[in-house]
Structure 1
Amino acid sequence: MAENRLIQRRYRLLDTIGRGGMGEVWCARDESLGRQVAVKCLKPLGPEHEPSFLQVLRERFRREARVAAALQHRGITVVHDFGEDDGTLFIVMELLSGRNLSQLLDDNRRQPLPVPDFIEIAEQVTAALAYTHEQAIVHRDLKPANIVRTADGTVKICDFGIARLGHDIGFTARLTGTGIAMGSPHYMSPEQIGAHGVDHRSDLYSLGCVLYEIATGVPPFDLGDTWAVLVGHRDRAPAPPRTLRPDLPESYEQIMLELLAKDPDDRPRDADELGKRLADARAPRLAHRAVADPDEVTVPARPLPSWTHGMTPGSAAHLARRPYRPVPDRAATVLTDAWTGGSDTRRDDASPAAGVAGPPLPDDRRTALAALAGRHTAALDLGRLGRWAESGEAHRALAAERARLLGPDHPDTLTSRLEAGHALGRLGRHFEAHQLYAEVLGGRDRALGPDHPDSLSCRHHVALNLGRLGRLEDCHTMTRDVAEARARVLGPLHPDTLTTRSELAFVLGKLGMWAAALQVYQEVAAARSAVLGPDHPDTLAARYEVGIGLGRLGRSAEALALYRELVAARSRSQGADDPETLRARHGLVVNLGRQHRWQEALVEAREVAAARARVLGEDHPDTLVSRRETAVALGWLGRWGEALDHYRRVADARERVLGAGHLDALASQSDLAQCLEQLGRADEAAAVHRRLAARRQERAVRRRQ
């Protein structure tokens, strides 16, 4: 393919950066956005193929490319675009600055990578696989060349969906005389070789091969001849890695050997379980981290009982806006006429762009606008009562009326549309909410400018909603930009600035960047303490998030001390039975467990569960989380019979309240099965596992539809 060729009048090919059986990878320039990208050009579709085959192939390509483009995780290469140009199928991806694992081994003269590097790579790839498997997507061609370590240490998996395309197009290697389609023999699972059904556990086997190679310098079956390699995968046990690498910790050897089990049922159940095993291996004193973190409760999407009314959706870091108390000499930047136009831009008789008062309104129009203001208040009240469907309809109707009377970009029109978006979000309809938010943001940018506080507020909501859609990388980028803009416009200590910075820390945590998240949480907590005081609810909320970050980084002793201080402060200001006081006590439970102080954790968990049941209700999500912590502590103390009763109660309640397919309900079923296994009730455990697998499959099918 010619250098400087322009693909679809947008992507100019600059330099070849890779070639393979499926085509070429180019460094290219996106002429529209002025950024460099990577363009993978698959081999041209020639006349030797039947037209019907080409049509099927194109459809398959579009489907697989959409799957790849929908993945949003820091451990997966971002797909920007895809299409066909003059018979060449192409995919546009982010351009990575780094080396793939095969190149790293070559750079190291095929010697094993240092143990800390091995551990970091294993954990990051596992986290990315956990995400993709949750989306019901299997890579099928995981190998060192498809895993890149970037310049900043981030590890990314490449080519999701591309391996399957290669099989269809016929670009994959084939065994001589066998007619068996092959991908990468050194990393293929036994079920792939035998043409049996392939699921997420095949990726785990391939990951085991990759980890074996970077840990020892050679793949598990380095036998030279392709057929011998395949027979090795199918029939032979790999040499224990420590026979080749004696300094490798034994716990990691055991993990790799389990990943390389011939029978998929003998491998780790999924990438989440593998992640826990890796965490245990990194910090053996913590043993199995069976306790749940206090930020892991998910907000149910289905209609729930009355106690859910008024619950705040979204992340734990999201804080309700409270009055700002400025501090002399450190107050936020004061808004000038450049923003306000010298008058209130919310006045019904003002121009939304210029802020200049117009002629007096006729009485009938003034009356109509007053009526709309009343309807706006009524719509807000419906939301406060938890009647979000009615609230959304009222705001949409109000937005239409205001658009007719005031214009589509008037601040009041846009406010009504924004409130309609909030209602959609509360109903779990995040894609529709995103569309509304984007339209409101466009209107506010046009009318007020991109740096107006109202525009930044809308951009803040767009960013949060991207996170709820699972687009974490986009959420991270936009949240960071909004935080910087608010600091510039409103000042670094303004509550809106700090709220966005809290959200930035939250998404950093979701992306697994806990060291960076903790630093931001600590900065927000310090700023709120300086401006609002150490015992202000916003300050205490920020300190709670600091505790989560400390726990995530294995600093449980510091987290435990922090939560003790939080319990005391919350009790003084809000009372012992306030939900936030109980949340801080739950943090104590989690970190007592992390230190293996299980008897103390059990006593605290029981007290918190009883208090939450009394204050919030028996079936409240927080109550159920505390009941689960009680079961975890009982299990660690060897009291599995008592633990089973708690696990069963939690599983039944979550299924009843949330629905059988909800993630929390599925997690409870998994807990129940593991407890039954501990009690030796294998048949009952197997039945629960089968039921769980069926529900996960149903969930995956629904997500693809």
Structure 2
Amino acid sequence: MIHRDLKPGNILVARDGTVKVLDFGIAAILRTDVTKLTATGSPIGTHQYMSPEQVRGGRITPQTDLYALGCVLHELLCGRLVFEAESEYLLMYQHVNAAPTPLRQLRPDVPEALEELVLHLLRKAPEARPADTQEVYARLLPFLPPPGQDPGTADTGPAGAPDPTGVFRRPFAPRARAQAPAPGGPAPTAVLPGAPPVPVPARLREDIEEAYAHSDALLEEERFAQAAEVLGEVIAPAALALGSESRQVLALRRQRAAIRLLGGDYRAALPEFDALADAYARIAGPTGEQARACRAQAARCRAELGQVTDALAALQGVLNVVRAVDSDVSEEAVELRHNIGMLLLAQGRTAEARQVLEPLHQDMCMVFGPEDEMTVEIAEALAVIRLDLDGTAS
């Protein structure tokens, strides 16, 4: 996962000291050679924390987030932004061309190793930055308090402020219990609308984790039927303890359905995806992301089972919803448009397929680039379509 908009406003320290990253609204699942731009070609992100490659509209990688982390660390350690300017354009120019001021020139008591790490994170070329977050963590570890050490007076923040170092000082401490509501106060809210907040018993949690691990191991050996069966064995007791539409049970059912689809068992996967789509629609509304995803997967099962008309209608229905709530070139919309075009082509409906795939190809070239794997696939399909149409015309 690449966040693409790390900044102090998206980093929250919870009351127990846990640090949480928020707002994945523009985050993108990591795909090779994908350039993420808005529909107008403008770079995505917040200018004060934007990497040089984001400013240029170049390829986004995990090192993009590391650059933003360098900006955040710089600000945390000295109280100043890496770059400041009167205009966004000058600010973006500085991120691309200007050298950041070393931290020890702004705050002499910053350890030299921390200054070196921040400068490493802020290098202009993505490949010149640390290899991954694990390297950054290893270089920060010497500055963290050892287990059992109490915070000194210089380490504590304002009175009542959460302590994000607590997880390192007390690594095995249980989480604090939530306070019971005052008499007559509001009842605790459910995790999902319509579902009561049922705690997962410790033994059941262990069984679920073990089922996932066992299923994943079977998937690596492409033993799809057995991987689905392993999850099925824990679904019934989980549904009995937590409710059939609890978040954990729905996740188990969705994973089992996905495994069946991957293994080619479309007849078993189809009713499961249909039922999941209905359940998610009751919980989060019929246009919710999870309901849409399950309806699209059910449509793909129908296509594999030869129910092409129903599959095309379902995919188009989901696409219409996605277009209403998101961009026409979002990951979800692009995949749906591609599915529809290729399904039409497979049915020999070349003229209709061309009407879908040509604008999709134009969007893919603009947003993802002509060398993107899917862009190349669509271009090849269009070449076949043109040959077919030209042959029909002659």
Indicate the structure with greater strand content. Answer: 1
Q: Greater relative contact order (Cα 8 A, min sep 6): structure 1 or 2? A: 2
Larger Rg computed on CA atoms:
1
TM-score when scaled to structure 1? 0.29
TM-score when scaled to structure 2? 0.49
